[in-house]
């Protein structure tokens, strides 16, 4: 396939707005991950799905962040009432098997800027 | 706390010089260890994993459990190696370092 895709690639939001970021994993991939990458930092884990089940959401920074994968394929990361500190690149990755140790295939990311 | 440290933000070398990108981690246990790379205008991708004991694009990484290090090495750097490199131990999830930018000049 074409690899992991993410949309939009760029998003500018005013503080307080809600945003939704989409991830299309490689077809058939079981596991899906979301990461947040702030400027000058490495990616930081947000949450992990195995099929439609959200098995780990320990990295979500606040209850304003919510992720779902209702049919076990496409995933959406939603951020409510965006704040300036939410500005970052949001990366999605998927793996073919239900184990985190397999190679993760990354998408191009969504750059979110909160003004 | 689980931490990974890449002490160099930027490593600049000339083509043909040896390269060592440092990575130290603090974990209670034996994590799996990975190096990921991001070339300019490309997405993050796996370079190599410790468990495979492989050499990819001339790079190798040796695990030193005593020093809890997993440095990435290449004997002769090439211009196409210029990229951002991230060390990523995995205990229960991947934890990325802050990355080292490698710049190989002609």
Query: Using one digit for the tens of pLDDT, what is the confidence trace for B46-78?
Result: 999 887 777 889 999 988 878 789 999 999 999
Q: How far apart are the first and last CA of chain A?
A: 36
The pLDDT tens digits along chain A (115 residues) read 579 999 999 999 999 999 999 999 999 999 999 999 999 999 999 999 999 999 999 999 999 999 999 999 999 999 999 999 999 999 999 998 766 667 899 999 999 999 9
Minimal C-alpha gap between B9 and chain A (Å)? 9
Give the CATH number, domain containing residue A50: 2.60.40.10
The answer to whether residue A114 is domain-embedded is no
Angle at B61 between CA B5 and CA B64, to 5 degrees: 65
Range of the domain at A14: 5-109
pLDDT of residue A98: 66
Minimal C-alpha gap between B44 and chain A (Å)? 6
CATH superfamily of B3-105: Immunoglobulins (2.60.40.10)
Other Cβ atoms within 10 Å of B36 Cβ, number? 24
pLDDT above 90 coverage of chain B, percent: 67
Whether the Cβ atoms of residue A18 and residue A39 lie closer than 8 Å to each other: no
Element (H, E) at B86: strand B83-90
Instruction: State the Cα–Cα distance between residues B31 and B92, nearest whole angstrom.
Output: 8
Give the residue with greater pLDDT, B28 vs A29: A29
The answer to whether residue A17 is domain-embedded is yes
Instruction: State the Cα–Cα distance between residues A4 and A115, nearest whole angstrom.
Output: 28
Q: What is the mean pLDDT of residues B11-35?
A: 91
Mean pLDDT of chain B: 91
pLDDT of residue A1: 58
pLDDT of residue B62: 84
Contact between B98 and A42 using a beta-carbon 8 Å cutoff: yes
Contact between A109 and B43 using a beta-carbon 8 Å cutoff: yes
Q: What are phi and psi of A18, to 5 degrees?
A: -95, 145
Angle at B52 between CA B66 and CA B46, to 5 degrees: 100
Domain tally, chain A: 1
The answer to whether residue A46 is domain-embedded is yes
Residue B53's contacts (CB-CB under 8 Å, 6 or more residues apart) are none
């Amino acid at each position: 396939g074409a690899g992991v895709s993410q949309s939009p690639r760029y998003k500018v939001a005013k503080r307080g707005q809600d945003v939704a970021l989409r991830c299309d994993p490689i077809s058939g991939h079981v596991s899906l991950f979301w990461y947040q990458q702030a400027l000058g930092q490495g990616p930081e884990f947000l949450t992990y799905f195995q099929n439609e089940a959200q098995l780990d959401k320990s990295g979500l920074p606040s209850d304003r962040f919510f992720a779902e994968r209702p049919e076990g394929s496409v995933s959406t990361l939603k951020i409510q009432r965006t704040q300036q500190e939410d500005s970052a690149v949001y990366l999605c990755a998927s793996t073919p098997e239900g184990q985190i140790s397999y190679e993760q295939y990354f998408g191009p990311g969504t750059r979110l800027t909160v003004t | 706390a689980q931490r990974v440290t890449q002490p160099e933000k930027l490593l600049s070398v000339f083509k043909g010089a040896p390269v060592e990108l440092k990575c130290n981690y603090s974990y209670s246990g034996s994590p799996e260890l990975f190096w990921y790379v991001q070339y300019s205008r490309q997405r993050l991708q796996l370079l190599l994993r410790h468990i495979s004991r492989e050499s990819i694009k001339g790079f190798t990484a040796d695990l030193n459990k005593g020093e809890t290090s997993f440095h990435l090495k290449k004997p002769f750097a090439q211009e196409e190696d210029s990229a951002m490199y991230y060390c990523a131990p995995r205990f229960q999830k991947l934890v990325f370092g802050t990355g080292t930018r490698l710049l190989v000049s002609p």
